[in-house]
């Protein structure tokens, strides 16, 4: 799983590609007829990388538009060009009403409700819609693609709402809110985050609003761009978090006086799962040369077998890695797709299709929510072992400083447990649901947008649960003094100590948890471990 992958052929197995390079914003992202890469999407969505449009691709857009212009004057009806939409597909619209038809489509479909969607999600879906426009398969005019790019480059973010998409025909409502902004309508936030009208934002940026021509309203709203954008962003986060899960597990194995013998390469090779091998390799590297492990190794070690939450970490973390790699494969294919309805084919036909259905993306979004919940569940079980005097091999109950007076990290585990319980509920698939719409014309939908929204909550929860385990394991390592942890785990413990105090009397714990969460989210935990252990996968 690598952020540089753009197409399915580029997706490498977890065993060789799971390293999470820092995403450095390129000087510019060129959008042409081919797919944008994972790296480009993250750079535009999160780092505001500027966009330029490939001139050759714009020529292709213009050539396809000439086909649409020819059909617009045909006396025979053509869906989306001279007809209504959905259940109204058989209604012929005269040429003098078609601009109103396209504008009305966008206005009526901009029917979202609820909280605003995050800025990075809106920018991701807009980049992906622009990418599809530039394939030359949608029939828009070049000026429409150019205006769309200008809105992104100006940092203007349309207000998109949490609810409104059924994931078929794609993410209609979210994309319609973005199309409104290109028309100089609706509500947006400018580059500074100030809310204002679309008209005011475009005027301030010197952008001329688009008056939509035939087919363009459809082209701006028919796509899986919202759910796909959130999938790529989730994969970027999981690249970091699944490596961080290995770091947390290594700290726990060490602090709980476990063994690294079970992670031996020959044992792992007996079950040749790629993700498992990568995870076990990380654990071996992280625990290499640990004085703490060496202090109890040998024939006198009373531990026959570690608990599953320690011993089976590579199996669970590895399964999550393999799931993420499958999701990256699907995402790569979707990035290479031109999703619209109807589309202009390479031989010049304008054909209706069902490619806007979000099932391929929805399924893997749900798979990832399951994986995130299970990795978090195992992490929370390791956290709990640190706090239980019956299982933590000599550490004080709840790692408290003065037992009976102090509660130690008791309630930090409650927090992790509450999050894990929520993640299990979020793991219930959205993609198995469907609800009919458009007078039964759209009688099966993907719910891919809903799957993506809940996955974002799942990833946030996983991040917090791992941070609590790392904070807990760091305290356990401190309490094992004077025996020292390994160099890599010790580096993470030292990093935690820059934002959270070591063992001592009870104190206000929430700020310390949030500070460690920030270290996990920034990649600092992963960097600290890798600075000693070498590149982690």
3-state secondary structure 473-508: HHHHHHHCCCCCCCHHHHHHHHHHCCCCCCCCCCCC
Residue 270 gets the label, from left (phi > 0), alpha (psi -120 to 50) or beta, of: alpha
Residue indicated by tokens 């476990």: 258
Whether 414 sits among the annotated catalytic residues: the reply is no
Residue at token pair 């086909």: 67
Asked if residue 169 has a cis previous peptide bond (ω within 30° of 0), the answer is yes
Alpha helices (H) along 154-192: 172-182
Whole-angstrom Cα distance, residue 463 to residue 455? Answer: 12
Q: How many CA atoms lie within 13 A of 308 on its CB side?
A: 7
Three-state DSSP class for 58? helix
Provide the 10 A C-beta neighbour count for residue 524.
17
**182 and 147 Cβ atoms separated by less than 8 Å:** yes
- 10 Å Cβ neighbour count for 339? 24
Tokens of 429: 């698939």
Cβ of 478: how many Cβ atoms within 10 Å?
A: 18
| Marked catalytic residue, from 79, 148, 308, 363 | 79
Three-state SS for 85? coil
Strand 187-189 and strand 195-197: the pairing is antiparallel
Q: In what order do the strands lie in the sheet with 187-189?
A: 157-158, 187-189, 195-197
* Residues 6+ away with beta carbon under 8 Å from 482: none
The Cα-based distances of 96 to 77, 82, 93, 213, 281 in angstroms read 15, 10, 8, 11, 67
Q: Which residue has the tokens 């947008």?
A: 449
Could you list the beta-strand ranges (E) of 266-354.
Answer: 343-344, 350-351
Check: CB of residue 488 under 8 Å from CB of residue 533.
yes
State the CB neighbour count (10 A cutoff) for residue 94. 8
Please list the active-site residues: 79
């Amino acid at each position: 799983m690598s952020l540089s992958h753009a197409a399915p052929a580029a997706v490498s197995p977890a065993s060789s590609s799971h390293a999470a390079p820092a995403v450095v914003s390129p000087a510019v992202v060129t959008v042409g007829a081919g797919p944008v890469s994972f790296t480009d999407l993250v750079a535009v969505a999160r780092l505001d990388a500027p966009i330029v449009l490939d001139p050759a691709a714009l020529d292709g857009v213009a050539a396809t538009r000439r086909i649409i212009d020819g059909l617009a004057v045909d006396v025979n009806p053509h869906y989306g060009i001279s007809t209504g939409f959905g259940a109204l597909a058989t209604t012929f619209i005269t040429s003098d009403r078609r601009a109103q038809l396209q504008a009305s489509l966008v206005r009526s479909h901009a029917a979202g409700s609820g909280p605003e969607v995050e800025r990075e999600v809106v920018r991701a879906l807009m980049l992906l819609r622009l990418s599809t426009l530039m394939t030359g398969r949608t029939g828009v005019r070049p000026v429409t693609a150019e205006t769309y790019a200008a809105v992104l480059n100006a940092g203007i973010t349309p207000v998109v709402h949490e609810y409104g998409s059924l994931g078929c025909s794609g993410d209609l409502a979210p994309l319609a809110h973005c199309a409104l902004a290109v028309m100089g309508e609706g509500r947006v936030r400018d580059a500074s985050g100030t809310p204002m009208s679309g008209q005011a934002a475009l005027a301030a940026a010197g952008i001329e609003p688009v008056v939509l021509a035939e087919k363009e309203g459809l082209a701006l709203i028919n796509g899986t761009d919202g759910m796909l954008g959130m999938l790529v962003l989730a994969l970027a986060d999981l690249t970091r978090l699944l490596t961080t899960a290995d770091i947390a597990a290594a700290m726990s194995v060490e602090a709980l006086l476990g063994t690294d013998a079970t992670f031996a390469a020959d044992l792992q090779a007996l079950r040749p799962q790629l993700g498992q091998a990568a995870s076990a390799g990380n654990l071996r590297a992280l625990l290499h040369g640990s004085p703490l492990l060496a202090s109890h190794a040998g024939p006198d070690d009373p531990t026959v077998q570690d608990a599953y939450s320690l011993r089976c970490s590579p199996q669970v973390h590895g399964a999550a890695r393999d799931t993420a790699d499958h999701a990256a494969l699907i995402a790569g294919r979707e990035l290479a797709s031109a999703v619209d309805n109807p589309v202009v084919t390479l031989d010049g036909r304008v054909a209706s299709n069902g490619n806007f259905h979000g099932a391929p993306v929805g399924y893997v979004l749900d798979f990832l929510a399951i994986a995130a919940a299970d990795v978090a569940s195992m992490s929370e079980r390791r956290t709990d072992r640190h706090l239980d005097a019956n299982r933590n091999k000599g550490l004080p109950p709840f790692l408290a400083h003065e037992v009976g007076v102090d509660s130690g990290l008791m309630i930090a585990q409650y927090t992790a447990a509450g999050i894990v319980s929520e993640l299990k509920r979020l793991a219930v698939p959205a993609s198995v649901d469907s609800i009919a719409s458009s007078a039964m014309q759209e009688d099966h939908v993907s719910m891919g947008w809903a799957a993506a929204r809940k996955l974002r909550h799942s990833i946030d929860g996983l991040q917090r649960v791992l941070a609590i385990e790392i904070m807990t394991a760091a305290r356990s390592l401190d309490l094992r003094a004077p025996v020292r942890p390994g160099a890599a785990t010790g580096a993470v413990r030292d990093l935690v100590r820059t934002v959270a105090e070591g063992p001592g009397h009870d104190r206000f714990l929430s700020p310390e948890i949030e500070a460690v969460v920030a270290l996990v989210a920034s990649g600092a935990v992963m960097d600290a471990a890798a600075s000693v252990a070498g590149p982690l996968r």
